[in-house]
Structure formats: C-alpha cells, structure tokens
Structure 1
C-alpha cells in the first residue's frame, strides 16, 4: 500500500499462504506416496511462525504510520499500540510479549497463557525456535527407544499428530528423532491453524475508524481462508 509516508509492503499474509501451500503438498504427498515422508510439515511450521511474527511487526509499523499521518483518535489506542510495540522491538523483546501487550491495549486484558489461541501460538513460536536454533533434542532409554526432550513435541505426540513410531501395529520399534516427528500433514495443519487463530483474534480487535492502512490489515485478516 502507498501513502504520504511512502510504500509499505505487507508480507505476513504471503507467509501464511506459503505455510498453507506446504500443508496442501504434505497431504497430496501422503496420498500419492504413503510410504514416503514429506518435509512440508517443517516448512509449514517455519512459515506459519514467520507469519505471526511478521503480522505483529507490520502492525507495529502501520500503527506508527497511522498516528504520524493523522491526528490520534480520542482514545489514542493506535498511538499507544505503535509506541508500546516499538519499544518492545527496540528492546529485542519476544514476539509473545508483543502479542500480549497488543491484546492488553486493544481489549484491556491479556490472553490466558493456558488457553487457546495463545497456548498453540506459544508452542508454534517455541517449535520454530527449536528448528532454527537446532541442537540435539532427543533422549534414548535403556531399551534403545528414542523420544523427544521437547515438551512441545511431546504434547503434539499426545495429540497424535506427529509421526511417532512404535505406537501402531506393524511399526518399527525404536522411535525417531524429534525433527522427523514433525514431518506430517497433521503438524502442518496444526501450525497453519495456530497462526491463523492468533492473527484473527488480534486483527478483529483493531478499531474500525482508523486510516487506510489499518483498514487494509483488517481486510486481509478477514480474507484468511479456512483450512480444508
């Protein structure tokens, strides 16, 4: 979009669509070659997490531009939003804090850490961090069975959406690395839904009477398609 402050390109939506495309490929791959595991579950996790980070960062800049180009509204909510999120960014604060402060400013309260959509959002961010800052995250018991040390991966195992081996008839015993646990269409779907849910929840709280930039963000949020 373009205004008096120049051109600003919005990328969060593109990241989310890349994650969704990875999910679609993972589903198609399983249908075509059930015995071969696709890496698209990992792609979906990374790009879904990128989308939530891009959304809050681009919203921060949009809020700052909005208040610089027009007088603040009576309650000054976008001024507070832009200023607060910018300070968190300057202090290199985590993306989770940015979202919680955005919810606090827009609605008067933060989200419960143990409830949705925040719960899966936080797990998604942690999983992305584990993938990007890769190190050994497996443990092996005395019988030689491999299991993940990550609490996030163990939680996803319990939801039965990972590629955990040894739990189904005919499976080869021994387990598998935590990284390979995530290479499933179900993990891809979970990542896409986690990202879409936190973005939609926050986006729907944005005021309706702001400038073109905020209106454009709200329009994009409303266009997030349901996952098939």
Structure 2
C-alpha cells in the first residue's frame, strides 16, 4: 500500500478555518477588536496547525527516501519509532541538528512561538477547567493575538475565550509556516556547505510550497469587502 503525505492538506484546513472565522466575525457574531474577533474555530485550528507541522517533519525527515539520501547521518542511530514518538519541540531541535548540523535558537522565533503554540494545543487537548489563566496570555495580549476586554473594571474574558480569536488562528498558521521554511533553510545551508546544491536529499522545499504566510492585509481586505471597517470594534 502506498504512503501519502497529509501535511499540506492539514495546513490547508487551517487556512479554510481562518476564512470561516473571518466570515463569522464579519457577520457580527461575537466581539471584534479591529481584525481580531472571537471565534470558536480557534481551538481546533491550534490543534490542526501543530499536527500539520509534525506531519511535515515526519514525512520529510524520517522517510525511507532520507534514509537513502542521507544514510550516513547519525540520526539513524536512533530507532525510527523513537524519532516518531519524540515530543515535537524536541524533534525540532534534534532532527535538523543530526541531519544538517544546524538547529533553532530556543529563545527566538520561530521556535519560541512554536513551543508556545504546542503549549496552547496541549491546553485544549488536555483541557483542565482552571480559573487562573496561563501566564503566557499577557504576551499574547500585548501582541494582539489573544482577545482582551476593552471595558476596564468589568474583568477580562475567560482564558479559553481569550484564545478563541481569529488572530490566534492566523498566528498559529504563520508560526508553523515559519518553522517549515526555516527547516528548508537549514537544508539549503547544509547542501551549500557540502557542495551538493543540485542534489535533492529531502522533499522539504517541494512540500513547503503548501506553507505560505497569511498577511494581515488578507483580513483587512476581507473585512473591507464585507463592508466592515477593519479599524472598528464590535459591539
């Protein structure tokens, strides 16, 4: 039975979810602060975005093809099942280091954002009905990713609602896309260093064409076409 990749389809679903969220907020459902509005489409988008990246990593870097093209890599000293079962945040550090002698800076984007996205994914997959909001929400509020109540003195939204935002969907999508293209860059540097620019050693560059950023202008144009001022708030 032939194997097929699913990462492109998964990240494509996140884009569709984002469009559904924009349609939802353009119709006046829930609160909206500029281009960022409440949508209960966000939690599944966090989950699917993370799944798309893990699928990409597994398809591209742990495949039979790479075992042939990079058969001397020390990565193959690790059993394949162990590689598959690794936490995604650990895979992102170990796999490019072993394959390309390069890796992410843990304290900088996109890795820093990706580890945060994984935490958010886990908050929803392993949901606990906690009163206290996660500490990272302050950072997301400052960046305009989560929702904050503009009404001083009446308290903020519950933390799951704060994360249920259209900009949260776009951020999750774009974070995954940034990680994918950084992995492609690691491979390109490795090939240049080893004088093998024309040699295809993985499918990373091909599959990365599915992972294109969504600019904020997309939301601005969408809302404007729907007759909604993207600088306004609702209600």
Q: Give the TM-score normalised by the residue count of structure 1.
A: 0.76
Structure 2: unaligned runs, 5 residues or longer: 32-37, 192-197, 219-235
Match of 1:102 among 95, 106, 122: 95
User: For the residues of structure 1 that align with 2:21 and 2:77, how far apart are their CA atoms?
Assistant: 40
The answer to whether structure 1 residue 151 and structure 2 residue 135 are counterparts is: yes
CA distance in 1, matches of 2:106, 2:59: 23
Structure-1 separation of matches of 2:50 and 2:107: 19
Q: CA deviation at 1:201?
A: 0.9
Contact 1:45 1:188 in 2 (8 A): yes
Partners of 1:56 and 1:152 in 2: CA distance: 26
1:203 CA drift (Å): 2.8
Contact preservation (8 Å) 1:60, 1:86: no
Which TM-score applies when normalising by structure 2? 0.74
Find out whether 1:222 has 2:223 as its counterpart. Answer: no
1:205 to 179, 182, 186: 186
Query: How many Å apart are 1:197 and its aligned residue?
Result: 0.7
Q: Shift of residue 82 of structure 1?
A: 5.1
Conserved 8 A contact 1:85-1:101: no
Q: Secondary structure at the match of 1:138?
A: coil
2:40 alignment partner in structure 1: 39
Hey, what does 1:15 align to over in structure 2? Answer: 10
2:173–2:213 contact (8 Å) kept in structure 1: no
* C-alpha separation in 1, matches of 2:52 and 2:10: 5
Task: Map Cα deviations across residues 85-114 of structure 1 (whole Å, 9 max, x no partner).
Answer: 726436x43111111012212442331111
Alignment of 1:1-228 (within 5 A): 7-35=2-30, 37-62=38-63, 64-67=64-67, 70=68, 72=69, 76-77=72-73, 80-81=74-75, 83-84=77-78, 86=80, 88-89=82-83, 92-139=85-132, 148=133, 150-165=134-149, 168=150, 170=151, 173-206=154-187, 209-210=199-200, 214-215=202-203, 217-227=204-214, 228=218
CA RMSD of aligned residues (A): 2.5
1:81: how far off?
A: 4.1
Asked whether the equivalents of residues 147 and 163 of structure 2 are also in contact (C-alpha less than 8 Å), the reply is: yes
Aligned pairs, number: 200
Gaps of 5+ in 1: 1-5, 140-147
Highest RCO, 1 vs 2 (Cα 8 Å, sep ≥ 6): 2
Contact 1:81 1:105 in 2 (8 A): yes
